[in-house]
Structure 1
């Protein structure tokens, strides 16, 4: 049996679940008859610049900026609901996480999320599948910083050379590689599981 990593770190949106923020912003644009590119670019700009990702700004700060720059007038709860509904969990990915755990591999989430991730956990029970969860909102760092990877490795008690990181954002994958982790760029499930089959020999997981 070949289980080549002692720890595997997963991104949430775009890997374990559909990319709910991107898809949700597009849905908001369609619902309120706004330009999709404008709403997406505004959402991504202000989720960072208001400090909401880092827990230094509030959700209201974020949505207020979005409303100001897009002309959308809907309230926070309506807009949040649209976003959260587009984080659709991927069952095959969660099965893979459980399979790794059964083989003694330590599993972790490494996410640039707000407190929405906690709400999604309440909805789906995601965190129970993992040994540890790191979220920018609580840690105060992001995957744009090498220090977030180093912090997560240290807190997990994992060595970079025996750890795998999986993310759908190429820049995050590159930074994980810079700290010595094996890093996979997630594109879609078929290509991901082909890579799994050629790497994790002996694991019974098969889709």
Structure 2
């Protein structure tokens, strides 16, 4: 079946980003050990990324666990500050998404993200050509949970066989395939372009 819709992951595909940049900046600002901060950051990441908690409670929890009153009581949006400082767009992938849309392919995003950093992305560049935006903090599930792919299939006006998903993590790609969605792992732009050509997308 012909591919009608391409879904892109954001972080690691459309956007150049690593969570370790959060850890490095915030551990330095609040004089915390990176290993301990990283552990608590990851322990609470699911709840903020599925919309269970907002940023303020996220840092409150981590601050309490690390016995940092300064972090616990911060009123600053650390996610906004650090993400805005370090993130950048993968220009080749962003242009590919625009070119696919110009060529009549519907494009969208399927991303594990929370409200603050996604708002920064929207603020820095127009994502209007993404017709479908499947965001974990709105859906309440994370990749590679099968429920998030089921949500996509149930809420997109295409058959699952018409979808093509691009993600930088192998586990997310494998889970998408188990749900019946054609998917590839993004590691290199030229390799991805070949995979798009094989599907008559470019």
Please give the TM-score of this superposition, normalised by the length of structure 2: 0.84
Indicate the SS of the match to 2:58: helix
Q: How do residues 66-77 of structure 1 correspond to structure 2 at under 5 angstroms? A: 66-72=62-68, 73-74=70-71, 75-77=74-76
Measure the CA separation in 2 of the matches of 1:78 and 1:199.
Answer: 38
Query: Conserved in 2, the CA contact under 8 Å of 1:8 and 1:165?
Result: yes
Measure the CA separation in 2 of the matches of 1:128 and 1:162.
Answer: 21
Q: Which moved more, 1:130-139 or 1:194-203?
A: 194-203
Match of 2:32 among 31, 34, 44: 34
Q: How do residues 120-199 of structure 1 correspond to structure 2 at under 5 angstroms? A: 120-187=120-187, 191-199=188-196
Count of matched residue pairs:
197
Please give the TM-score of this superposition, normalised by the length of structure 1: 0.82
Gaps of 5+ in 2: none
CA shift, 1:135, in A, is 0.9
Query: Conserved in 1, the CA contact under 8 Å of 2:83 and 2:117?
Result: no
Indicate the SS of the match to 1:131: strand
Measured against aligned partners, the alpha-carbon deviations of 1:4-62 in whole angstroms (never above 9, x if no partner) come to 621111111121112253322232224444332322221121122xx322222221111
Q: 1:54 — aligned with what?
A: 50
Q: How do residues 86-97 of structure 1 correspond to structure 2 at under 5 angstroms? A: 86-97=86-97
Measured against aligned partners, the alpha-carbon deviations of 1:53-96 in whole angstroms (never above 9, x if no partner) come to 22222211111112223355242425221134333222221101
Measured against aligned partners, the alpha-carbon deviations of 1:148-180 in whole angstroms (never above 9, x if no partner) come to 112112312122222211112222111101011
Query: Conserved in 2, the CA contact under 8 Å of 1:24 and 1:84?
Result: no
Match of 2:8 among 2, 7, 10: 10
Q: 1:200 — aligned with what?
A: 197
Structure 1 57/88 Cα, relative in aligned 2: closer, same or farther at 3 Å?
same
Query: Conserved in 2, the CA contact under 8 Å of 1:26 and 1:40?
Result: no
Measure the CA separation in 1 of the matches of 2:201 and 2:6.
Answer: 15
Measure the CA separation in 1 of the matches of 2:75 and 2:185.
Answer: 33
Measure the CA separation in 1 of the matches of 2:196 and 2:77.
Answer: 43
Query: Conserved in 1, the CA contact under 8 Å of 2:5 and 2:106?
Result: yes
Structure 1 8/151 Cα, relative in aligned 2: closer, same or farther at 3 Å?
same
